[in-house]
Amino acid sequence: MRLCLVEDEAVSALEPLTLTRPVFDLLLGSNSLGAKLARAFEVGPGPARRSVVVRPYLAAVRRSRDPQTTVNDPDWLARGPVMVANGRWVPPDPFDGPESTDGRPWVGLCEGQPACAWVGPDDAVALHPNGVSAWFEEMASRVECVEVGGEWIGRPWDLVARNAHHLARDFEAEGKPALSNKHLASAAIVGPSERLSIHESARVDPYTVFDTTSGPITIAAGAWVQPFTRVEGPCYIGRDTQLFRANVRGGTTIGPNCRIGGEVEASIVHGFSNKYHEGFLGHAYVGEWVNLGAITSNSDLRNDYGEVHVPIAGDPVATGQAKVGCFVGDHTRTGLGSMLNTGTAIGVMCNVLPAGLLLPKHIPSFCSVLYGRVAPGFSLDQLFATAETVMGRRGKTFAEAERQLYLDLHQQTRLERERAFQKANDRRGDTWPVIAARR
């Protein structure tokens, strides 16, 4: 089977996480939404079997990050029948499609909405990055529709709230090798040992505790767990990630090549991000190349235990949940002692400095926070220079495709910044502090 992952127009509801990546690259459990779709349809890697249709400004970066997948390619779609799957849809596991359609096109529904479609090349070539929802609706209007189950990811907090469940589900689906003797000798295990998987190449120092009482734990290849670290399941620690005397609570996914210390609870850290020091991160989703300065902490519960609202693109959205932390875009940095309010949303390439009080809940992309206020940020040249330095320290390159991505995003998010500045001025009635690095 050939598989094409697509994004519908609802991806904007998942900002700031989807500003810099297709929705199917978001993490849930121990892998991405796209990996779950590939597993459901039993599609292996390789350009002959996988394709994606993404927002045009993401195409070049997606090609550079995953050369094994074709991107926005009508010729690939025209080569034969294809399964088209919405990247926001999480299929049930195991997934069972319709029993028989005699090879005819069909549309799979989740909660009454089109989630996937098996179509021929004539229909597939009509897919367009800016018309995915309309394409699904048109297909559903003229072919057989069947309920296939699963669930939708509609908002950033959906990923966090469902992460513990999917960590346990992924552990069972993927299968894990038995623990080696060297890891059994160095780690203290509380709970069933069969729920603990540690890759042979991972390093686990003495005086570490793995508690599988509430769920499974996976330590991936090349990870390093230092002494006096406690990890509670369900949890996934990605390849080459290092834990420094950390207290990692259940429901947490740490992506590849992160540096994590302090307390982390029910959170997702996408990859290549740092939280070296003490401080609390809870019910949060942190993007790539983020640095959380020492003692940076976020609130994930209101004092009155009420419903949390999160500003998406500046507009407060009710979450229906009482425990919601923060959502942080790629290449953002916080300073020593930053305190993030309940339900905070921070865009990409922001510079957040502490002010001795809770910081603004809405920080648009490319902004700074100075003296507790959202302010114009550093120049793009300075931000790009910092990104080059940060990525170079991990053996990565801030390539031209990445640079163009952020140039495009700077223009796309301009009105959001201007509106935030105006709101702050209306409240305060004074002018912005002047910073030398301002663009």
Rounded to an integer, the average pLDDT of 411-428 is 87
68-77, 204-213, 400-409, 417-426, range with the lowest pLDDT: 417-426
Three-state DSSP string of 248-283 = ECCCEEECCCCEEEEEEECCEEEECCEECCCCEEEC
Please tell me the predicted confidence (pLDDT) of residue 109. Answer: 97
| pTM given for the model | 0.94
d(CA 375, CA 150): 42
For 3-154, CATH number out of 3.30.465.10, 3.40.50.850, 3.90.550.10, 2.60.40.3080 equals 3.90.550.10
pLDDT tens-digit readout, 98-133 = 766 677 999 999 999 999 999 999 999 999 999 999
Q: What are the tokens at 46? A: 């390789």
Q: Shortest CA distance to 71 belongs to which of 92, 91, 41, 51? A: 51
Q: Backbone phi, then psi, for 120, in 5-degree steps? A: -85, 175
Integer angstrom CA distances of residue 401 from 55, 58, 63, 407? 14, 9, 9, 10
Q: Where in the chain is the domain with CATH 2.160.10.10?
A: 162-428
Q: Where in the chain is the domain with CATH 3.90.550.10?
A: 3-154
Q: Which residues of 15-39 are buried (b: 16+ CB within 10 A; e: fewer)?
A: bbbbbbbbbbbbbbbbbbbbbbbbb
The pLDDT tens digits of the residues spanning 383-394 come to 999 999 999 999
Would you state the pLDDT for residue 95? 87
CATH number given to 162-428: 2.160.10.10
pLDDT(288) > 80:
yes
210-231 residues labelled b (16+ CB within 10 A) or e (exposed):
bbbebbbbbbbebbbbbeebbb
Distance CA 198, CA 436 (A): 49
Over 60: is that where the pLDDT of 429 sits? no
